[in-house]
Chains A and B, each alone.
Chain A
Amino acid sequence: MVSGRIDGAGANALEVEVLAAVRAGANPLYVNLAEATFLCSAGIRVLMQYWRQMKNNQRTLLVTRPTPEVLSVLELTGFKDLIVEKA
């Protein structure tokens, strides 16, 4: 669960969380964005980078429950394939 602004600084915090989950062996790794109010390209780069790393290891990273603000940015940049519906 990543909350608040995923701006430049938020992207660094996101990376720390994602990396911890990768190391803990999560698969699939779900990134819950239900409480993220803002996403910019720095955050997308983190998601993309770890999606690729996971995929190269036959694992997967998925985004769940994006807020409307985050969904809009993922759609505009062509990254909505990262999203999976999950309760």
Chain B
Amino acid sequence: MELILQNRTEEKERLRPALEEFARRHRLPPAVLQAADVALEEHVTNVIAYAYKDVAPHEIRIRLALENQSLQIEIEDDGRPYDPLSRPPVDTSVPLEEKPIGGLGIHLIRSLMDEVDYRREAGKNILRMTKRV
């Protein structure tokens, strides 16, 4: 399944219904659906907020597939090159008083998914996330 979103915040509302439809068709467990939902929300939010320097419309392509008992999610954008995995890991043991506010989104993606990798290809950022079913 491929879903194409414009880089506007309200477009994110189309994610959950598409994900639910895919999950229903492939009988994905609720925990896998929930993990994918959070991961997509986090990454697409960041792309819309930070990837583009101009005000032109851009497409964010989201591909969902089930392969070898794994949910594969690819999110592709044509924004400035950025590898979210280049952020240092978040130390979750830091007390509330001292916790940094940034970096939680990619931390959640890494925590919820079994594998996450990034590549830059033909002027596109592609984040691939895998969750075993």
Contacts and interface: CB of A to CB of B under 8 A. Distances in A.
Given A7-B41, A40-B41, A73-B38, A51 B96 contact: yes
Contact of B34 (A42, A44, A69, A77): A69
B133 interface: no
A48 B99 contact: yes
A2 B94 CA distance: 27
A7 B42 CA distance: 9
A52 B92 CA distance: 17
A contact face: mostly helix, strand, loop, or mixed = helix
A78 B108 contact: no
A78 B92 contact: yes
A7 B108 contact: no
Contact of A41 (B12, B42, B93, B96): B42
B38 to A, nearest CB: 6
A37 B108 CA distance: 16
Contact of B90 (A9, A69, A77, A82): A77
A42 B108 contact: no
A72 B41 CA distance: 16
A77 to B, nearest CB: 5
Contact of B38 (A40, A51, A55): A40
A9 B95 CA distance: 27
Contact of A77 (B16, B37, B45, B104): B104
A38 interface: yes
Given A7-B41, A52-B97, A79-B99, 10 more contacts: A7-B12, A8-B41, A38-B37, A52-B96, A72-B34, A73-B108, A76-B92, A77-B90, A77-B111, A78-B92
28 contacts: A7-B41, A7-B45, A8-B12, A9-B9, A38-B34, A38-B38, A40-B41, A41-B108, A44-B104, A48-B96, A48-B99, A48-B101, A52-B96, A52-B97, A55-B97, A72-B34, A73-B38, A76-B92, A76-B107, A76-B111, A77-B90, A77-B92, A77-B108, A77-B111, A78-B93, A79-B96, A79-B99, A81-B95
